[in-house]
Structure 1
Amino acid sequence: MNNIPKRFSLPSIVLTVLLLVAKLSLLRIFFFDQTNIAGVLKDTLSILVILCLLELILPRIVKRPTFWIFNAIFSFLLFAATLYQIHFGSVPAYSVLGEMGQVPQIRASITPLIKPYHFLFFADLLIAAIIGILHFSRRNRDFRIHSSGSSFGHTRRINYRSKIITILFLAVCMGLSALFINRGQAIDNEWAQAEDVGFLNFQVSTALRNKQESDAIANGNLQQTKAAVEKLQSTYPYNNNKSTTTSQPEFFASAEEMNVIVVQLESFQNFTINLKVDQQEATPVLNKLAKESYYFPYVYQQIGQGNTSDAEFMSNTSIYPTGSEAMSVGFGNRELPSLPRLLQKYNYQSATFHINSVDFWSRNLLYPGLAFDNYYDKPFYTNDHFNDFGASDEELYRVGLEKLTEISATDKPFYAQFVTTSSHAPFVVPDEFLQMKIPTDLQGSQLGNYLSAINYTDYALGQLIEQLKEQGLWDNTVFVAYGDHFGIQPKETDAAEITAKLGIPYDNQISRFNIPLFIHVPNQKGQVVELTGGQLDIMPTISNLLGISLKKEQFTAFGRDLLNTDNNVFGMRYYLPTGSFFNNDVMFVPGKGFEDGIATSLKTLQPVQDIIGYRDDYDYIRSLMKLSDDYVQLLPRRTP
């Protein structure tokens, strides 16, 4: 026994397995608020697969440090995954690693979410480092190398035996993990799948599914997919009373040849509309605009990984985000069917305005892909240091109005998109820009800061509207404003707190995802349209008002014209699991499938017990979103 090597690596691998399984269990608690024996077993199998491979391929001398390095890297990834889940509310897949470069731009949004207990992932590394430093400082003896023929032979026998055991362990673990992954493939709900198969197995499952989809796309046909979309959409009863045989839909061409301005409002939730705080209107400008416009109070975000950039993508294309990557990053190099591209046929000039650098979220690819004629990014604005992004909304509109006035002088109609940032998290408004006095009990809180930021965004929008009127542009412009996504993080400000402090009903999901949509058409009376809608519906609705028939243009839209629809249904993924949808009545979120899903009333915010009647909507939306994914994947790449 004296000849057994002192550096036999089994203790190192065992220690590493125990530490990493403990960290994956911690991740389960952060993600799912619980852990269980079955989940721990599946996590253990996935870790053993990786560590057994390392055990087999690494030279003995580097195994121990390699295991610790792997532990450190893995700990960082779990820490990042936890912060990602808190910020985005989704289980991160491996594909999000490609978007880590965006983090510095949103660090102000993420930093408040970090809690001391999140650093438990690094506790063992800190302890090991302290022990290592103490051991190194006290170590003051010579090393002696022992070697003999019998020793070497015994070591070699030990190595062969350990490798055989490791290979057997690897085979068993891979087989069981493959079995669990295969069973989990039937679960569309990413949350349920990750909880069921384990975090690492979920990554493998996602990679396999992406590979299967890529293989299917490689053999796909764009025209056949468009035909399949049209056929599927014809089966859904979008209209009860509105005739589909009349020559033109209602309000068609009521804004023909008018300019179009679309303002995408950062982090803007609908609960702020008509809200009063200490007798102060949070959004006085939009409250007035709602009375003079088509106001849609039941519109919901549908964004994916790209957040704000995904909202830009959807409002211009009426295509679902895939959820696996930001659409600007993954599909900005495609020739995207879009409203700017469509309006080129009608002699429109198009421009988009954003005060950040155009390469943020790869907008340098997205904007040409959408066929905008011009984009105006960071260099065009004077930085008044409003927040981490730079210039204020007022500066954004100042430059925008200058450029639009120039286009208007050419006698061409224009389509302009403004992407605001002043109400971006963490919602801190510089004192010189404050327009609203926040009550004492809200000061310094996320909710109080949010209301201040929303109020300033509303104020700046009012300045733009007044300037459009002064320039004589307002009476010939369709003016659209909508929220890109939620602002209030439920882990910082719970629904109960909002209800208690503002005196309004609020749900952590429905109210959070509920964004406002306003469409102002000159000489049209204001109207509240209570139909449920999504961001996919913005483009078809604008097209109808402009007198552009998407059917005649053979334009494939996955959204609906909200002014000519009785029953609407649309899907949402990423912030909700795949298979989730909204219709006129409920928000539906599946479990592992439809049967264990949950429906919640959009009007009462209360659970709906009988869900059987929503099965057709569930099947329809799953099919439609799958076709949307196929469609965008098949779009041709632009020539350089």
Structure 2
Amino acid sequence: MNTMNKRDLLRNFALVAGLIWAKLLLLRILFYGRIDWAWIAADLAPVVLVMGLLAIVVPVRFRRGAYLAFDVLVSLVLFAATVYFNHFGSVPTYVALQELHQVFQVKDSVESTVQAVDYLYFADFILLAAFAILRKWRRSRRTVYPSLGGGYEWRDSRPGSRRAMLAAALLAVIAGGLLSAYYIRETKELTNELVHAESAGFINYQVAAAISAHEDNGLHLKGDINDTIAQIAALQATYPYGGKSGAAQPDYFASQKGKNVIVVQMEAFQNFPIHQTLAGQELTPNLNKLADEGFYFPQVYQQIGSGNTSDAEFMSNTSIYPLGAIPMSSGFGDRELPSLPRLLRDKGYEAYTFHVNSVGFWNRNQLYPALGFTGYYDKKYFYNDHFNAFGASDEQLYITALEKLSALQRKGTPFYAQLVTASSHHPFQIPDSFKKIAVPEELQGTMLGDYLTAINYTDYAIGKLVEGLKQDGLWENTVLVFYGDHFGLQPQNVDPEQVTAALGIPYDSQVSRFNIPLIVHTPGMAQGKAVEQTGGQLDILPTIANLLGISLKTEGFTAFGHDLLNIGRNVQGMRYYLPTGSFFNDDIMFVPGKGFADGKAVSLKTLQPVEDFSRYESDYDYILELERLSDQYVKLLPQR
């Protein structure tokens, strides 16, 4: 049996702590492109704290194994967090990391975002393995090498030495704990999650998130939802939305009363391809025609949180902000959510949702009942033509949907249908037999080329849906709504200049990336109308409700969005993909720093930086309070 003395134990402690600290510094480089030396102790403090605790509670013979296990655990978490950051551009909390089993179901999409540098988190294990092999080869009875493997006994059994080691471990725990507590306390008021994580350190940020969640949940357990609703109404009354939002008879009210409604949520669909051509080929001819014949909203922006596509479904059906860090399908699938399906059910409608993936993906088996859908159709209902990792193509989605909806039409039952497409899902590589356009040579094999090809196919399938609606007699009695769920182009893979060179249009890595289309096609509309009003996904429900003649005020429905056809000014918040406090109003996209004063603004019209944005501080304060009340409201909703 090998033996170990005090010096060996200290070496192992320092070695493992140093390795983990180095990995946390690597994370800073990968997340922020820099190491802010003013904050590096924030990374070391919790490492020393945990290592000290291990030194106290773990017997000597197992201590190095415990250190190694801690190193492995941290390495896996940091790797997962980095893959998550590569894919979503957000610093994950422990809650988001718990949802990784959902993320990894889209394996092709995730694998395409993993970079070779991410594997550096495991480099030390290769070196330690090589050292262990070398040590075994060169082992002799005369030499004792400190190692991270087991099989050692404590050599120096003097009580003084044991007390000294215990004192050192206690000192590490106290020093690490106090320093971590300092960073957590000093950064508590930061609303910008990226700045918060950088300032507090990644591990301390997780602790801060857990503390905040505990305090928040305790607060809401004592709340009264009626008081919250009153606060929401009072706050919204202070914002000058203008237009005819408060009129007794808004424009277009009940113009589509009794009509069927089909909402198509288009996967990863940004607005910039609309009305554009690539090498003389129209990218979205069918959507272009629908936009020219109906209401087209070119200034609408995504507002999803970590639930991504499922969060978009949640918002379009509820007009409630997602929390950001928690997928709404997972966190609130047990609630009775006020929703468009429930509003229409009271008008005699049946509501169905169609998605070619398994209904368990992102907990939709909980989300759809929470939203009040009559039923759903998932993977087993569609013919699998092996389009991508999800299976069925958009064409198959529409074939099944038309079959089910036509049956309702024949029964004389008005319906609301939500169709969630998947053919334009990241990484946008579709089978050659489904491609409808030829990509120029310079774009072949690029993300932009693949994306435009997938978007074009999505549009082609929409053309098939329109043909089917006309053939089945549904066209003249159905309101069609199309919108994008979130961005598609990853900024690290597509330079804005590449988009400009390919299509001849300006492109901003944030404004253009978050800009999604919203098209509402109504039967009998004599001429289309482009509505330049800024909006978000929260505005979809109020806009549809107005067309169908449903007064949200009369219904007592609390919405955080507004009818885009009847307001003169708007502001919408966005978090998760941007820091909390970010917003889009009619003029700018604003992203805070530590607060408002050190934030940044970009003009929505020119895509150029706006230096003086001081007059928009009231919008910043308003959005922070509105999002806070939205969170409070959804947490107080009754369970099913």
Quickly name the TM-score band, shorter chain normalised. over 0.9
> Which residue matches 1:493?
494
C-alpha separation between the residues in 2 aligned to 1:350 and 1:503?
42
1:59 maps to amino acid: P
Q: Is the partner of 1:607 in helix, strand or coil?
A: coil
Q: Does 1:164 align with 2:167?
A: yes
The alpha-carbon deviation at position 66 of structure 1 amounts to 1.5
Structure 1: gaps of 5 or more residues = 145-150
Within 5 Å, which residues of 2 pair with 1:555-594? 555-594=557-596
C-alpha separation between the residues in 2 aligned to 1:221 and 1:12?
54
Q: Does 1:231 align with 2:251?
A: no
Q: Is the partner of 2:359 in helix, strand or coil?
A: coil
CA deviations on 1:513-549 (whole Å, 9 max, x unpaired) are 0000000111122100000000000000000000000
Within 5 Å, which residues of 2 pair with 1:466-477? 466-477=467-478
The alpha-carbon deviation at position 138 of structure 1 amounts to 5.0
Aligned partner of 2:633 among 631, 634, 638: 631
Q: Is the 8 A contact 1:570 1:581 kept in 2?
A: yes
The alpha-carbon deviation at position 177 of structure 1 amounts to 1.5
C-alpha separation between the residues in 2 aligned to 1:480 and 1:317?
16
C-alpha separation between the residues in 2 aligned to 1:463 and 1:297?
24
Q: Which segment drifts farther, 481-490 or 173-182?
A: 173-182
C-alpha separation between the residues in 2 aligned to 1:629 and 1:274?
37
Root mean square deviation, CA, Å: 1.6
The alpha-carbon deviation at position 504 of structure 1 amounts to 1.2
> Which residue matches 1:339?
340
Q: Is the 8 A contact 2:270 2:515 kept in 1?
A: yes
CA deviations on 1:103-152 (whole Å, 9 max, x unpaired) are 332111121222221111111111101221333355476999xxxxxx98
Q: Is the 8 A contact 1:4 1:154 kept in 2?
A: no
Q: Does 1:88 align with 2:88?
A: yes
> Which residue matches 2:151?
none
CA deviations on 1:44-97 (whole Å, 9 max, x unpaired) are 112111111111111111111211121122111111111111100100101012
1:166 maps to amino acid: A
Q: Which segment drifts farther, 518-527 or 568-577?
A: 518-527
Within 5 Å, which residues of 2 pair with 1:429-468? 429-468=430-469
Q: Is the 8 A contact 2:355 2:419 kept in 1?
A: yes
Q: Does 1:264 align with 2:265?
A: yes
> Which residue matches 1:57?
57
1:371 maps to amino acid: G
Structure 2: gaps of 5 or more residues = 145-153
CA deviations on 1:247-304 (whole Å, 9 max, x unpaired) are 2111100000000000000000000101110010110101111100100000000000
> Which residue matches 1:306?
307
Q: Is the 8 A contact 2:245 2:566 kept in 1?
A: no
Q: Is the 8 A contact 1:264 1:417 kept in 2?
A: yes
Relative distance call for 1:583 and 1:141 in structure 2 (3 A) is: same
The alpha-carbon deviation at position 4 of structure 1 amounts to 8.0
1:426 maps to amino acid: P
Aligned partner of 1:619 among 594, 599, 621: 621
C-alpha separation between the residues in 2 aligned to 1:533 and 1:518?
12
For this pair of structures, how many residues does the alignment match?
Answer: 628
> Which residue matches 2:148?
none
C-alpha separation between the residues in 1 aligned to 2:454 and 2:93?
32
CA deviations on 1:193-221 (whole Å, 9 max, x unpaired) are 11111111111111111111111101111
> Which residue matches 1:404?
405
CA deviations on 1:319-364 (whole Å, 9 max, x unpaired) are 0000121100110110000000111100001110000000000000
Which aligned segments of 4 or more residues in structure 1 are displaced greater than 2 angstroms?
3-8, 133-144, 151-156, 241-244
Relative distance call for 1:51 and 1:152 in structure 2 (3 A) is: closer
1:489 maps to amino acid: Q
1:215 maps to amino acid: G
> Which residue matches 2:147?
none
Within 5 Å, which residues of 2 pair with 1:536-547? 536-547=538-549
> Which residue matches 1:415?
416
> Which residue matches 1:191?
194
Q: Is the 8 A contact 1:90 1:191 kept in 2?
A: yes
2:565 maps to amino acid: L
C-alpha separation between the residues in 2 aligned to 1:117 and 1:143?
36
C-alpha separation between the residues in 1 aligned to 2:126 and 2:365?
42
Q: Is the 8 A contact 1:269 1:513 kept in 2?
A: yes
1:410 maps to amino acid: K
Task: Tell me the TM-score normalised to structure 1 length.
Answer: 0.96
C-alpha separation between the residues in 1 aligned to 2:614 and 2:454?
42
C-alpha separation between the residues in 2 aligned to 1:596 and 1:179?
23
Q: Is the 8 A contact 1:569 1:584 kept in 2?
A: yes
2:368 maps to amino acid: Y
> Which residue matches 1:220?
223
> Which residue matches 2:517?
516
The alpha-carbon deviation at position 8 of structure 1 amounts to 4.3
Relative distance call for 1:79 and 1:152 in structure 2 (3 A) is: closer
Relative distance call for 1:157 and 1:250 in structure 2 (3 A) is: same
Task: Tell me the TM-score normalised to structure 2 length.
Answer: 0.96
Q: Does 1:201 align with 2:186?
A: no
Within 5 Å, which residues of 2 pair with 1:592-603? 592-603=594-605
Q: Is the 8 A contact 1:5 1:155 kept in 2?
A: no
Q: Is the 8 A contact 1:105 1:389 kept in 2?
A: no
The alpha-carbon deviation at position 35 of structure 1 amounts to 0.1
Relative distance call for 1:243 and 1:17 in structure 2 (3 A) is: closer
> Which residue matches 2:374?
373
C-alpha separation between the residues in 2 aligned to 1:338 and 1:107?
32
Q: Which segment drifts farther, 109-118 or 511-520?
A: 109-118
Q: Which segment drifts farther, 134-143 or 255-264?
A: 134-143
Q: Which segment drifts farther, 180-189 or 496-505?
A: 496-505
> Which residue matches 1:604?
606
2:229 maps to amino acid: K
Relative distance call for 1:579 and 1:158 in structure 2 (3 A) is: same
